[in-house]
């Protein structure tokens, strides 16, 4: 698969702190790519570098085999930040028109783009509502519409569903998946919700500026394919990790089964894998 973005040996320091330490990975074209890490891992710093809001100390970034920092700011990368950045006193439609005009899109083409996006993202019900009067989910969808109005090749989402309730989070992800599936848009997102990484085929895990893992999400789970055995007893429970079902069964053979209320043996979740990697386990 062709890579649309390639990050090579990127380093960024603040004083004596290595915020990014020799970070390298590639994002396949048309993929959904998850960028995970705890607070302070360096995720936002790399996103700012990708958006050319700051420069790395060293290393390079290629967008379709061209140096990113040599390209003009012509909307090839769209971004949805955590915070809402549209004018609360204007309608969603007027916000989109103003955004498009900043990129000097011809007015007829801009209106056609907005019509297409509104249909694609099912925005008809709140298109002419004041942005400040929209619900949290409507605001986030409007932010996504703003980011894709210039038809970017890559859409970056920085914590796209932070502070949204589960129902609205699902709605936002339905929109993101639709963009990826119908427009073949490359999606690169960071998230604190580990379960959202299941939407991604590829994942990069960052810790204190260094990459702990980069590759396919399924391969990450396979490489950390230990099982979790939970033995619930009348007065509490025991939890331990085993390398296989057979090992779990062998352990249970040495237990007093008459004292057990229930037994659970299953795969580690992505969140458990992530936490164990953060702990160095």
Q: If 0-12 CB within 10 Å is exposed, 13-18 middle and 19+ buried, where does residue 105 land?
A: buried
Q: How confident is the model at residue 73 (pLDDT cuts 50, 70, 90)?
A: low
pLDDT tens sequence across 197-231: 889 999 999 988 999 899 998 888 777 666 777 77
Q: What is the pTM of this model?
A: 0.81
Closest to 139 (Cα-Cα) out of 149, 129, 148: 129
The residue ranking higher by pLDDT, 278 or 96, is 96
Give the tens place of pLDDT for each residue, 129-177.
999 999 988 999 999 999 998 889 999 999 888 777 888 888 889 999 9
- 2-6, 76-80, 105-109, 248-252 — which is least confidently predicted? 248-252
d(C-alpha 25, C-alpha 265), whole Å? 34
- Give me the pLDDT at residue 243, please: 64
Average pLDDT, the chain: 86
More confident residue, 248 or 105: 105
Rounded Cα distance, 10 and 7, in Å: 7
Q: What is the pLDDT, as a whole number, of residue 85?
A: 85
pLDDT of residue 226: 66
Please give the pLDDT value at position 281: 45
pLDDT band at residue 196 using 50, 70 and 90 as cut-offs: confident
pLDDT of residue 20: 96
Which of residues 119 and 273 earns the better pLDDT score?
A: 119
**3-class secondary structure for the chain?**
CCEEEEEEEEEEEECCEEEEEEEEEEEECCCEEEEECCCCCCHHHHHHHHCCCCCCCEEEEEECCEEHHHCCCCCCEEEECCCCCCCCCCEHHHHHHHHHHHCCCCHHHHHHHHHHHHHHHCCHHHCCCEHHHCCHHHHHHHHHHHHHCCCCCEEEEECCCCCCCHHHHHHHHHHHHHHHHHHCCEEEEECCCHHHHHHCCEEEEEECCEEEEEEEHHHHHHHCCCEEEEEEECCEEEEEEECCHHHHHHHHHCCCHHHEEEEEEEECCHHHHHHHHHCCC
Name the region of 64 (left: φ>0; alpha: ψ -120 to 50; beta: rest). Answer: left
First to last CA, the chain: 32
Strand-pairing partners, residue 260, are: 233
Q: How far apart are CA 19 and CA 208, in angstroms?
A: 7
**Phi, psi for 265 (deg, rounded to 5):** -140, 115
What is the average pLDDT across 89-106? 91
pLDDT of residue 225: 63
Is the pLDDT score of 193 beyond 80? Answer: no
């Amino acid at each position: 698969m062709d890579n649309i973005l390639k990050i090579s040996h990127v380093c960024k320091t603040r004083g004596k702190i290595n915020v990014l330490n020799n970070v390298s990975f590639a994002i396949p074209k048309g993929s959904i790519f998850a960028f995970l890490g705890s607070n302070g891992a360096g995720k936002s710093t790399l996103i700012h570098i990708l958006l050319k809001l700051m420069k790395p100390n060293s290393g390079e970034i290629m967008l379709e085999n061209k140096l990113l920092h040599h390209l003009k700011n012509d909307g090839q990368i769209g971004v949805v930040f955590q915070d809402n950045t549209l004018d609360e006193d204007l309608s969603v439609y007027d916000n989109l028109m103003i955004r498009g005009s900043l990129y000097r899109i011809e007015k007829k083409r801009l209106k056609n783009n907005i019509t297409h996006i509104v249909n694609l993202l099912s925005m008809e019900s709140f298109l002419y509502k004041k942005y400040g009067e929209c619900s949290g989910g409507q605001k986030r969808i409007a932010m996504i519409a703003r980011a894709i109005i210039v038809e970017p090749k890559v859409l970056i989402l920085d914590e796209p569903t932070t502070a949204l309730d589960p129902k609205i989070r699902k709605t936002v992800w339905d929109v993101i998946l639709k963009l990826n599936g119908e427009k073949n848009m490359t999606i690169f997102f960071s998230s604190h919700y580990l379960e959202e990484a299941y939407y991604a085929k590829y994942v990069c895990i960052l810790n204190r500026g260094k990459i702990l893992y980069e590759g396919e999400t399924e391969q990450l789970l396979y490489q950390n394919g230990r099982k979790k055995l939970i033995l619930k007893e009348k007065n509490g429970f025991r939890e331990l990790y085993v390398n296989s079902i057979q090992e779990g069964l062998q352990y249970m053979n040495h237990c007093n089964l008459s004292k057990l209320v229930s037994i659970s043996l299953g795969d580690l979740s992505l969140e458990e894998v992530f936490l164990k990697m953060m702990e160095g386990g």
